[in-house]
Amino acid sequence: MMETVKSKTSRTTYLALLLRLGLGTIFLVAGAQKIGEPAAFARSIANYHLISGSLVTWSAVLIPWLEVLIGSCLLLGWLTRISAMTATALSLGFALFTGSALVRGLNVDCGCFTGASEVSVAHWLVNVLMIAAGTWLGLKGDPRLSVDSYLNKPDRLSLKNRLTLVALLLMFVGGGLLVNRSLHQPQGEAKIVFEQELIELTSVPQERETRINVRYKNLGSHTANISKVESTCGCTRAELNKKIVLPGESGEVTVSYKPGENTGQFEQKVRLVVEGQSNLPVLSLRGEIDPMTRAVPGVFQIALGDSVIAKIESRREGFIPVVTGSSSPLRGVGMEQIAPASDGSPRVKLTLRAPLPKPTRHVNAWPVRIELAGAPACSIYFQTK
């Protein structure tokens, strides 16, 4: 009976040793590799799109040092239970990040080691196994064959207290100095620039969204963190494929523009807000909106008392617009709907019952807006005859 208990105890001891050494090696190697490349690790974290801003920076600096500390403690078998439970908490966080990426279908670098591969189910399973190993070590791990077993002897109690106090002081003071140095050492400035700052669009369909892709590059000596994207109006949206950009690296922004009720010429701007960059990059989109419905002809030279007839055409096949009314900054413009054209398109008759304002250097035509049902409004312009 005594031999059975002794054999079981021995197996538990060696299992704890094996798990402790394996888990400690993983954390020590992973942390040591990432300490020297905080910018690359920050980019990996940001690509998960779960946290952003300064939280990414702090995580990229602190997590590698914490991994090294945990790995060292596990390899030595010192503060084993605390280290194991901390490793479990970190592994749980890693599992949540990788699992979230898998669910959302993100093809991102897992950030586990330097040059690690894209997130896969295997990465998530490894994290789950690390959670199980850390939990078992923290709750039931055999402390023998470790520094803890040496310090826990009655005649070593005072030494343990002294070593623990000194270690904690060194950990907090040294860790604080390292974090402060990592965050405040001079690293130059980020400089994100667009490869094209002005995009000319010749014809933009009014009824559908137009998308363009524009590349940007970090020409600075510091890692760029793009915190947000600003646009001039809600009709313009922009999505980035990369928010953390290392020096010399490039990214791409997808700009979507939907005119809605807007007609004529347009100019929209998209600005990237880059932390630490004073001259923010701005992308301009300029072009002409091709209306879904239009009045033919669109411009009339008219005098007081004249009447003109315009036909309302649509580019949508089989669609016949319905005129519902009109509006204009001009006074005395009358409108009536007359018999449709031979192709079924509606026609309107407009009568000028008040004189037009005198043209200026900037304004020589005045609009009359034709309201339509089921389609954007179109405009007719009056000029002095």
Q: How many whole angstroms separate alpha carbon 366 and alpha carbon 339?
A: 26
Give the per-residue pLDDT at 166.
57
CB 254 within 8 A of CB 211: yes
For residues 126-155, give the mean pLDDT.
Answer: 73
Residue 319: predicted pLDDT: 79
Q: Supply the pLDDT for residue 256.
A: 92
Predicted pLDDT of residue 272: 93
At 297-335, the pLDDT tens digits run: 889 999 888 999 999 888 877 778 888 888 888 888 888
What is the model's pLDDT at position 163?
62
pLDDT exceeds cutoff 80 at 52: no
Question: What is the mean pLDDT of the segment spanning 352-369?
Answer: 88
Three-state DSSP at 383 gives strand
Where does the pLDDT of residue 284 fall: very low under 50, low under 70, confident under 90, or very high at 90 and above?
A: very high
Q: How far apart are CA 80 and CA 62, in angstroms?
A: 20
Burial of 105 (0-12, 13-18, 19+ CB in 10 A): exposed
Q: Which CATH superfamily is domain 293-384 in?
A: Immunoglobulins (2.60.40.10)
Each residue's pLDDT tens digit, 66-114: 888 888 888 887 777 888 888 888 888 888 888 888 888 877 777 777 6
Rounded to 5 degrees, φ, ψ at 330 are: -80, 150
Query: Are 56 and 45 in contact, with CB atoms under 8 Å apart?
Result: yes
Query: Which pTM does this prediction carry?
Result: 0.49
Helix axes 54-76, 38-46, angle to 10 degrees: 110
pLDDT at 141: 66
Considering the domain delimited by 192-290, tell me its CATH architecture.
Answer: Sandwich (2.60)
Q: What pLDDT sits at residue 161? A: 54
Question: Which two three-digit tokens encode residue 356?
Answer: 């037009």
Domain range list for the chain: 2-184, 192-290, 293-384
Between 164 and 243, the more confident residue is 243
Do the two domains 192-290 and 293-384 of this chain adopt the same fold? yes
Structure tokens belonging to residue 140: 């039931």
Q: What's at 218, amino acid-wise?
A: N
In this structure, are strands 264-274 and 250-257 parallel, antiparallel, or unpaired? unpaired
